[in-house]
Structure 1
Amino acid sequence: MKVLSLAAAGTLLAACGGGTNAGSTGGGGDMTLTLASVDQGSVEDVVKAFEAANPGVKVNFTTSGADQYQQQIRTQLASGTAPDVMSVWPGNGNPGATYVLAKPGYLLDLSDQPWAAKLPESVKTVAQYEGKTYNGLFGLNAIGAVYNQQAMDKARLTPPSTWTELLAFCRAAAAKGTPAFALGIQDKWVTQLVPYAFVATAVYGDDKDFDKKMQAGQVTFARSAWTTAVAKYQEMANTGCFQQSPLSTSYEASQELAATGKTLGLVQGNWVVALLKKQNPSGTFTLKPLPATDDVAKTLMPAAAGAGYGVNAKAKNKDLALKFVNFVMSPEGMNLFVGKQGGLPSLPDTGFAADPALAEVGKFIKDNRTVPFMDQLWPNAKVQQTMLSGLQEIFSGQSTPDKMLAAMDADYKAGA
């Protein structure tokens, strides 16, 4: 995913095609780099810092949402119109993920870059394909409930820590005329965030080896607590936890609702914090786990490497592309990126001071109470796409959880 992220974000580019065509055509002396990114609200400052550190260099970049980007990037790579550097997700969960793009040879091997050997093992495994590193994964992200503190104060409500409290919170918020959470599932990728937050506890809380059992064919989506997670998603909707018409609300519109206090928050990845602050610079936002049970001690959070950057194997300016990815993976670039996103750096000893919004996430990571984003180790990108479409169809009444989970099982069994 950015989660998504996946995600997430996920996170997660209408101008993407135009940006890649605006790039350079020269050789080694060319000072123009083309870049396509899903890191809206954070890559802009990284680009400025890179240009400032490299006088004469110009970065022509575009940003857009994850859905559009994932649809475009594979086509661009196949047709030779892709940018020099591009957002690439960890693992294997979507059309823009490391395994998916490295397998056909679209990405440059980055194994000999100075940061590659320093990646933590959990990050390295999803940055590599067949033992070679293809992705500069700069940040660790988490999925949870992001609250607008000023809106919460106005409503005189506090973040719920149990499932029962969550439903009561939603009812209380609705009674005050302010929905608890903005939900922008007009953008498909957003549909996964609430179930991912629930699956962390509902599935992995009782079975840390669930992924291994899936790979061995011992368990399935349809016959597991995935059914519980999706049912809780539906119960949230039926309880009035979201604003009206989530299917006609975009990711961008959901940000506006949460940032301005029209809702008390939204369920998203930490990357949304920078975007909320951009719309409401005086606002205070905090990320908390979304509770799936009434046992606080069992609550887990999805937390894993978010989207990073890969180099086009046919980049027109390969040297400058490598220079940019190495800047992103340097302490300066990494700290700037995760600082803007409200994330955490993937490498230790960068001197990073975490955003107070992430205080609880840092504690969960330290206490080993996190699980990877669910899609990162799925055998193909189709599983996630089936889930995203299925969740939209559930919300529109065109499908059911049983049908969606059965279809996900079929795609999973199809393998790579």
Structure 2
Amino acid sequence: MKTVRAACTSAVAASLAVALLAACSGGTEAGGDGRQTLTVASVDQGSVEAVVEAFEKANPGVRVRLTTSGADQYQQQIRTQLSSRTAPDVLSVWPGNGNPAATHVLAEPGYLRDLSDRPWAAKLPDAIKSVAQYDGKTYTAVFGQNGIGAVYNEQALRKSGLAAPETWNELLQFCKDAASEGTPAFALGIQDNWVTQIVQYALVATTVYGPDPDFDAKMQAGQATFADSPWTTAMDKYQTMDKAGCFQKNPLGTNYEASQQLAATGKTLGIVQGNWVIALLKQKNPEATFTLTPLPATDDPAELLIPAAAGAGYGVNAHAKNEELALKFVDFVMSDQGMNLYATKQGGLPTLPDTGYNTDPALKELARFISDGRTVPFMDQLWPNAKVQQTLLSGLQEIFSGQTTAKDVLAAMDADYTSGT
């Protein structure tokens, strides 16, 4: 669910991502300077670079050839590279089964090396382990936990004279008041289709899982469907937010990068995103302060839930040209130093406890919700195949462009859900 800044090029260079992934996924022979080369493809914008630098510093004889790209482009390419054995040694892998580069999807055909023998694998919390494994074996080094909510630019919020809403009705009024003052409440960059799901997930957490915590189990048992569930309520609320002026003009013409710029510079009061966006906003405006809170979907604050789950991690190519270095890198990522560095750069929370990490004040509410058990997994992580998410993403774009309806999108998701893997 994240996108990234290019290390071989500038931020989110979508048009160059395909070429860069191919160019930076070559061999791992020693370079001209005598150092061994490890190839890494990542979707961790603005954070992996610091981890790579620390890894190289700890391993003077190693050079990391890093490629980063946007999530959409990455997911389109990585399976092709893996099947043709041109993929890098280490690659970003999402937990669960929800997209083309997820753990189940890549482990089942044998593209990933089993990491169960690594010293950190047995220490993963059960909730993380369940989505980092396939067929009882661990394939993904999940280094952080993420959450989705409303991220506010505190300076812009104070300037507006408005307060962050805590209920659904307050949210709608907040959006109307902000729009009337010429500063929309939230930036929305759904030109990148992965972004479409973020607001939807934030609303689904409360509207679907609040009244029915067992919804996923019922879906898996064939006792529930998207189309005949409160998913319809969440879809309606998403569209209601749009009609209430919650977002800037032309979200379909705004990409993720541009939406960050709007929120960082106070052109909007905030953005509905994962906590990973906070580090990116700080890069664009180091003087600003940002805070993540739940996105209200009900008029009772006690009923609010936050989507929070394992974030994208790293897998090792089963045919890595330098397996030893690849394993050393993922072990470094899962060390206290690696996890804390990622958490600091991303504005997240380490996967393993007792790393000595000081939580960013911006994530105080997220940490509280996780501690209180008021979270639900990212919805796609428990879906049976990647088609369901892709239908949701394209369907939400089509809803915003007036080409389809929520009813049709949910019916199509049901068809994909029951079609198997």
Q: Is the 8 A contact 2:2 2:43 kept in 1?
A: no
User: Taking structure 1 as the reference length, what is the TM-score of the superposition?
Assistant: 0.96
- 1:50 corresponds to: 55
- 2:123 corresponds to: 118
Shift in Å, 1:176: 1.1
Moved more, 187-196 or 57-66: 57-66
- 2:20 corresponds to: 18
Q: Distance in 2 between matches of 1:241 and 1:159?
A: 13
DSSP-derived class of the 2:147 partner:
strand
Q: Which amino acid counterpart does residue 24 of structure 1 have in structure 2?
A: G
Q: Deviations over 1:126-156 (max 9, x none)?
A: 0000000000000000000000001001101
Q: Give unmatched runs, 5+ long, in structure 2.
A: 5-11
DSSP-derived class of the 2:131 partner:
helix
Shift in Å, 1:339: 1.0
**1:17-416 to 2 correspondences below 5 Å:** 17-22=19-24, 23-26=26-29, 31-416=36-421
Q: Deviations over 1:345-394 (max 9, x none)?
A: 11011011010000000100111100000000100000000000000000
Distance 1:3 1:63, change over 3 A: closer
DSSP-derived class of the 1:82 partner:
coil
| Cα RMSD for the two superposed structures | 1.7
Q: Which amino acid counterpart does residue 375 of structure 2 have in structure 1?
A: T
Shift in Å, 1:15: 3.4
Q: Which amino acid counterpart does residue 170 of structure 1 have in structure 2?
A: C
Q: Distance in 1 between matches of 2:238 and 2:28?
A: 49
Shift in Å, 1:263: 0.4
Runs (4+) of structure 1 exceeding 6 A deviation are none
Q: Distance in 1 between matches of 2:155 and 2:60?
A: 42
Shift in Å, 1:62: 1.3
Q: Is the 8 A contact 1:30 1:317 kept in 2?
A: no
Q: Which has the higher contact order (CA 8 A, sep 6+)?
A: 1
Q: Distance in 2 between matches of 1:186 and 1:21?
A: 26
Distance 1:250 1:3, change over 3 A: closer
DSSP-derived class of the 1:15 partner:
helix
Q: Which amino acid counterpart does residue 26 of structure 1 have in structure 2?
A: E
Q: Distance in 1 between matches of 2:22 and 2:334?
A: 23
User: Taking structure 2 as the reference length, what is the TM-score of the superposition?
Assistant: 0.95
Shift in Å, 1:69: 0.7
Q: Which amino acid counterpart does residue 113 of structure 2 have in structure 1?
A: L
Q: Which amino acid counterpart does residue 42 of structure 1 have in structure 2?
A: S
- 1:7 corresponds to: none
Q: Give unmatched runs, 5+ long, in structure 1.
A: 5-10
Q: Distance in 2 between matches of 1:346 and 1:56?
A: 29
Shift in Å, 1:241: 0.4
Distance 1:101 1:12, change over 3 A: farther
Q: Distance in 1 between matches of 2:236 and 2:383?
A: 22
DSSP-derived class of the 2:240 partner:
helix
Q: Is the 8 A contact 1:51 1:59 kept in 2?
A: yes
Q: Distance in 1 between matches of 2:46 and 2:235?
A: 31
DSSP-derived class of the 1:229 partner:
helix
Q: Which amino acid counterpart does residue 389 of structure 1 have in structure 2?
A: S
Q: Deviations over 1:192-247 (max 9, x none)?
A: 00010000000000011000000000010000000000000000000100000000
Count of aligned residue pairs for this structure pair: 410
Shift in Å, 1:3: 10
